[in-house]
Structure 1
Amino acid sequence: MLYRKIEKTIVEHLESKSNKVLLIDGARQVGKTYIVRYAGRKLFENFIEINMVEDSLGEKLFEQVKTIEDFYLSLSMIAGDKMQQKENTLIFIDEIQEYPHLLTLLKFLVQDDCFHYIASGSLLGVALLKTTSIPMGSIQKVRMFPLDFEEFLYANGVNEITISILSKKFKKLESLDESMHYKTMDYFRKFLLVGGMPDAVNSYLLEKNIVSVRGIQTETPTTEVVGFLTTK
């Protein structure tokens, strides 16, 4: 799988005693759902995922949820056997912006203290503006972006020692030796062509075909500026 720096933030939050819900904001297709699944399933025996866009297009179980009792009842209809103790149960509310009233409900779910929660969404700024009561004291909001250049290097098999050296020299504005310079610039040119959307990177790694990558980029609804080389 692709190395994503935000995994460390997710794991640290889930392993902490924090009484806040981690709310991951980011454009569509940057990998929010995948990385939460990966981290959540490693840490919790019972991982429950609810996609609110899918719910809004289907059964609409959560459309009229107003209380924690309503939420538990709707949740039990799709994952009742996994609703066990807080210590081994994580509930992932994906695409929460589809139902802005659930953002308000997060505060009361946290206070009820029955399960661990994590949420993600796109255009959360817009959803928060539509929310009558924003539970800022109950959420920790973080932003997820496409892969930056450092993550792209990891994806291409560059080891941690090399990346650490590159990072230190970059920060100190020190030059690289000629062979390292040309190799790094080659990776950077590929990064500029491929970009940082996970599907595009995976396609490039598998096929080494820029035409296939372009097809994925054309289908991607949202693009964002991607960072160069950042620290962990």
Structure 2
Amino acid sequence: MYNRKTFSQLLTHLPKRQVTVITGMRRVGKSTALRYLLDHVTHSNKLYLDFERIENRVLFNQQSYNDIERGLVALGLNLKQPAVLALDEIQLVPNSTSVIKSLYDTYDIKFLVTGSSSFYLKNHFSESLAGRKQIFEMWPLDFEEFVTFKGFDANRLLSERFRPFLPTYFDLWHDLYEEFIQFGGFPEVVLADTHQDKIDYLKDVLNAYIELDIKLLSDFSVSDSLYKLILLLANRVGSRIDYTKLASLTGLNRHKIKDYLHLLEYTYFIQTISPLTNGIDKEISKQPKMYFSDTGLLQVCGKVSSGALFENKIANQLQPLGKIQYFEKSAGTEIDFILNGEIAFEVKETCTPYDLKTLTDRTKQLSVGDCQLIGRYRPESGFSNFLWGGSLF
């Protein structure tokens, strides 16, 4: 089993009474994390139930809580002793949170649960399990995890994190980083042997997301419209969201487009970033920019330029580091990313001294302390005053 960064946080929470909730997009490794935690439970009074199996859904869908308790005992769980109950894919049983609350309040049970939908889990758990749970979000692999999954020593990667471009470091990791850009960070995709296997896995992830997660959260007709919208969005990553244009192309109204985009974001399919402005009114009036949560998924959803693909990857890499915004003063005067209001980043596939001067001049218009170029390729000029994308993780 490959170690994920989230595992250490999950292990810290394992002894706590609260429900441990692991959420994130389908196939990012939530079930693996659940089994990892179960392996670290020191006693044998534990039970794993996968709600993709119909018999487990039937058990939790019974009207009588007493019958549910009897079923758990029949499966080997001793409710008279401290117990651990692991429930996988709880979004498939809509009343599961009510059952968990009842059992949590009645018995000494530590719950470990996973679900594929942030939208479902955050809303239902807030209502039913207020104060009784902690949510941990899982994402596709970052580059450090990617390197580990590929069988390399990630400790060698750490030495140059966020340091200026170094040709030797670039030569060591360039090929792996290019694969990371092209195919993203879903664990199964990373471990797949062939190009075609990777594409097939990504298509399967997309299909499962629409056919299972989306249909669970909405009516049947939504999945067809949403798929068409996803294909349009793939060609617009890194651009401000034009609701009117999208409505015109899809035949849907602007309000429905906004609802669908919220659904895509709440279910981890896309991420949006707001503009950096002087006030909330201006921020609301300006349109956010949109990126896919995984560049592999982006690739199977549409033909994307090399530059847009790289910018999307950088958005993914910066996302765990804090709040990301963009800056735009007027047409042609823009900065790609502002991190935590403190540092400005401009993304260029091949960085030049002119790019750095332009970014420095634009940053002076903001109350931002620092700025950095982020590049993808080795400049022929020998210029090195930029961050290589592979050093961000």
Same fold (TM over 0.5): yes
SS of the residue corresponding to residue 181 of structure 2 reads: helix
Q: Provide the rounded CA distance (Å) in 2 between the counterparts of 1:130 and 1:157.
A: 39
Partner of residue 24 from structure 1, selected from 22, 25, 41: 22
Query: Which of the two has higher C-alpha Rg?
Result: 2
Aligned: 1:190 with 2:179? yes
Q: Which residue of 2 aligns with 1:214?
A: 199
Seq. identity, % = 23
Partner of residue 134 from structure 2, selected from 137, 140, 146: 140
Q: Provide the rounded CA distance (Å) in 2 between the counterparts of 1:21 and 1:59.
A: 19
Q: Provide the rounded CA distance (Å) in 2 between the counterparts of 1:83 and 1:29.
A: 32
Structure 1 pair 158–131 and aligned structure 2 pair: CA distance change class (3 A): closer
Partner of residue 72 from structure 1, selected from 69, 80, 94: 69
> Is the contact between residue 79 and residue 107 of structure 2 (CA under 8 Å) also seen in structure 1?
no
Structure 1 pair 82–30 and aligned structure 2 pair: CA distance change class (3 A): farther
> Is the contact between residue 47 and residue 76 of structure 2 (CA under 8 Å) also seen in structure 1?
no
Q: Report the Cα offset of residue 3 of structure 1.
A: 2.3
> Is the contact between residue 51 and residue 57 of structure 2 (CA under 8 Å) also seen in structure 1?
no
Q: Which residue of 2 aligns with 1:51?
A: 50
Q: Which residue of 2 aligns with 1:199?
A: 188
Q: Which residue of 2 aligns with 1:92?
A: 86
Q: Report the Cα offset of residue 124 of structure 1.
A: 4.2
Partner of residue 177 from structure 1, selected from 166, 180, 188: 166
Deviations 1:21-51 (A, max 9, x none): 0111111111101121023123334341112
Range with bigger deviation, 215-224 or 193-202? 215-224
Whichever residue aligns with residue 11 of structure 2, its letter is V
Q: Which residue of 2 aligns with 1:13?
A: 13
Q: Report the Cα offset of residue 85 of structure 1.
A: 3.1
> Is the contact between residue 26 and residue 32 of structure 1 (CA under 8 Å) also seen in structure 2?
yes
Deviations 1:173-222 (A, max 9, x none): x224312112222221011122111111111xxx3x21221121111134
> Is the contact between residue 152 and residue 196 of structure 1 (CA under 8 Å) also seen in structure 2?
yes
Q: Provide the rounded CA distance (Å) in 1 between the counterparts of 2:165 and 2:135.
A: 37
Structure 1 pair 132–63 and aligned structure 2 pair: CA distance change class (3 A): farther
Taking structure 2 as the reference length, the TM-score comes to 0.49
Q: Provide the rounded CA distance (Å) in 2 between the counterparts of 1:149 and 1:162.
A: 13
What are the ranges of 5 or more consecutive residues in structure 1 without an aligned counterpart?
none
Using CA pairs below 8 Å that are at least 6 residues apart, which structure has the higher relative contact order? 1
Aligned: 1:36 with 2:30? no
SS of the residue corresponding to residue 220 of structure 1 reads: helix
> Is the contact between residue 22 and residue 113 of structure 2 (CA under 8 Å) also seen in structure 1?
yes
Q: Provide the rounded CA distance (Å) in 1 between the counterparts of 2:29 and 2:99.
A: 25
Structure 1 pair 106–166 and aligned structure 2 pair: CA distance change class (3 A): farther
> Is the contact between residue 47 and residue 77 of structure 2 (CA under 8 Å) also seen in structure 1?
no
Which one has the bigger strand percentage? 2
Taking structure 1 as the reference length, the TM-score comes to 0.80
Whichever residue aligns with residue 55 of structure 1, its letter is I
Q: Provide the rounded CA distance (Å) in 1 between the counterparts of 2:204 and 2:123.
A: 28
Equivalent residue pairs, number: 216
Which one has the bigger helix percentage? 1
Q: Provide the rounded CA distance (Å) in 2 between the counterparts of 1:6 and 1:25.
A: 11
